[in-house]
Amino acid sequence: MHKTNTITYIILIALTIASALLSKLDTTYVAILILLLAVIKFIGISFQFMELKKAHPFWKGAILGFLILFTVIILAV
């Protein structure tokens, strides 16, 4: 269990650094890429550190539903 936490933590740090580097670019899709990286980080944190992977399927669906709804609303605006 400790090893998976460390691996997840390293991936989260790498995604954060990637987000910071992407923010310096001047392309049209930077905001979408950063949002997608944030979604991946959110899933990693919620399923690994909040132990959502052991939770009832309702809570898994609620978190993923919220995440999808949030992402769609942000991209629509």
**Cα angle at 4 between 59 and 42, to 5 degrees?**
40
From CA 38, how far away is CA 56, in angstroms rounded?
A: 24
Q: What is the pLDDT of residues 10-24, one digit of tens each?
A: 999 999 999 999 999
Q: What residue numbers bound the domain in which 30 lies? A: 2-76
Query: Considering the entire predicted model, what is its pTM?
Result: 0.85
| Total count of domains within the chain | 1
Q: What is the pLDDT of residues 35-55, one digit of tens each?
A: 999 999 999 999 999 989 899
| Pick from 68, 35, 38, 63: nearest CA to 51 | 63
